[in-house]
Amino acid sequence: MRGVAVIGVGCSKFGELWEMGFRDIVISAGVEALEDAGLEGREIEAVYAGNMSAGRYIGQEHIASLIADYSGLADLHVPCTRVEAGDASGGVALRQAYMAVASGMHDIVIAAGAEKVTDVPNAMEILSSSADVEWEVFNGANLPALYAIIARAHMKKYGTKEEDLAMVSVKNHKNATLNPKAMFKREISLEVALNSPYVAEPLKLFDCAPICDGASVVILASEDVAKEYTDTPVYIKACTQASDYIALHSRRDITTMDAVVHASRQAYKIAKIDPKDVDVAEVHDSFTIAEIMAYEDLGFVEKGRGAELIREGVTALDGDLPVNPSGGLKAFGHAVGATGVRQAVEIVLQLRGDAGKRQVDAEVGLSLNIGGTGGTAVVTIFSR
């Protein structure tokens, strides 16, 4: 296996981008990434594009060909492959691109993710199809309801409080004020978060990340080739994926995402690091309980003690382990298929020292992208 480095990143704004179509959003992120890497389209050898449900969101299938077309790669006949894994689509696309370079099949590959959700009224219904439609959604459960079940179980078993969940939201909104591309750039108080209406008890409005429009692009190259394009490559030391039962009723323990545990332990082994070596992380906070569980399942703290990290400020921007300095899904926005790649963009910016006012001191970074309620998990470890 060859060493793999990131040589360019790009990201559109995230939000309700009414003035932009799917094509415009993808091009925005792609052009930025190519300019960042100093590349031309003819140097790209393959593209892997994460997208959950363009067929339902915008009525367009065959997204891979569309992206190749509007990225200027059709005349070059560059192979472009769509990757789908619910809201882990971007993370899996990143893993496919990583493997294509690490294996020696290609030298320069794009990992992209994109979603346009604001054109339909039933966006949450579509997103909830990442859960078990026959056993869960058909019987009235959507993603907020399922994560509410998880949150209630975690509270009962470990004593996690609604205030702990609200503190995650407050932290991530504060971080997003420093991110010009974030959907929400306004701080909220703990009181506001706690007094917001319930969406699915115990989860309130501010415990739920907004789904939105957006695209992200990461350009990967083999270690040797990367040196020709940048003096500050960020290396991918591991990129692992694991699966679990799609329905909660089949899980061993719904307060633990076993896919996250398995993928992270495999990633640590490959990268030859321990959880304590991670300096900054972007985790999948589609709901605030998911971030607290990520602290535990990634091994940053013992199981059941995740809330202690948010209470003690450990995961704040100025804490010992900053988590979601971008604002996370909660405040940056969750452009479903783009999120996993967007998380990688943030970690790369942090490790390059290009994160602006939200910059933290980091040598090793980690991203965690989750599909549905944990049926898929992708863990990627980066280093300077």
Q: Which CATH architecture has domain 143-206+237-383?
A: 3-Layer(aba) Sandwich (3.40)
In this predicted structure, the answer to whether residue 249 has a pLDDT above a threshold of 90 is yes
Question: How much is the pLDDT for 65?
Answer: 95
Query: What is the spatial distance between Cα 382 and Cα 117, in angstroms, rounded to a whole number?
Result: 30
Each residue of 57-93: b (16+ CB within 10 Å) or e?
bbeeeebbebbbebbbbeeeebebbbbbbbbbbbbbb
Q: In CATH terms, are 4-122+212-234 and 143-206+237-383 the same topology? A: yes
Average pLDDT of span 85-112: 98
Which residues partner with 367 through β-bridges?
282, 380
Six-digit token string for 185: 């750039």
- Whether 74 has a pLDDT exceeding 90, the answer reads no
Confidence class for position 119, pLDDT limits 50, 70, 90: confident
**How far is Cα 379 from Cα 268, in angstroms, rounded to an integer?**
9
Alpha carbon distance 280, 364 (integer Å): 7
Q: What is the structure's pLDDT at 99?
A: 98
**What is the per-residue pLDDT across 7-62, written as a single tens digit (0 to 9) for each?**
999 999 999 999 999 999 999 999 999 999 999 888 999 999 999 999 999 999 99
Return the CATH architecture of domain 4-122+212-234. Answer: 3-Layer(aba) Sandwich (3.40)
Specify the pLDDT at position 197: 98
Structure tokens at 155: 């509270």
Residue with tokens 């692992």: 240
How would residue 229 be classed by pLDDT, with cut points 50, 70 and 90?
Answer: very high
Q: Which two tokens stand for residue 343?
A: 């998380």
* Residue 374, pLDDT above cutoff 90: yes
How would residue 71 be classed by pLDDT, with cut points 50, 70 and 90? confident
Nearest of 133, 351, 109 to residue 226 by alpha carbon? 109
State the average pLDDT over residues 259-274: 98
What are the residue boundaries of the structural domains of the chain, listed by start? 4-122+212-234, 143-206+237-383
Alpha-carbon distance 149 to 147, whole Å? 5
321-350 pLDDT per residue, tens: 999 999 999 999 999 999 999 999 999 999
Instruction: Note whether 5 and 223 are within 8 A (CB).
Output: yes
Give percent of the chain above pLDDT 90.
96
What pLDDT sits at residue 73?
Answer: 87
Q: Answer yes or no: is pLDDT of 312 > 90.
A: yes
Q: Give the pTM.
A: 0.97
User: Which range among 67-71, 88-92, 231-235 has the greatest average pLDDT?
Assistant: 88-92
Q: What is the pLDDT of residue 72?
A: 86
Asked whether the beta carbons of 61 and 54 are under 8 A apart, the reply is: yes
Three-state SS sequence of the chain:
CCCEEEEEEEECCCECCCCCCHHHHHHHHHHHHHHHHCCCHHHCCEEEEECCCHHHHCCCCCHHHHHHHHCCCCCCCCCEEEECECECHHHHHHHHHHHHHHCCCCCEEEEEEEECCCCCCCHHHHHHHHCCHHHHHCCCCCHHHHHHHHHHHHHHHHCCCHHHHHHHHHHHHHHHCCCCCCCCCCCCCHHHHHHCCEEECCEEHHHECCECEEEEEEEEEEHHHHCCCCCCCEEEEEEEEEECCCCHHHCCCCCCCHHHHHHHHHHHHHHCCCHHHCCEEECCCCEHHHHHHHHHHCCCCCCCCHHHHHHCCCCCCCCCCCECCCCHHHHHCECHHHHHHHHHHHHHHHHHCCCHHHCCCCCEEEEEEEECCCCEEEEEEEEC
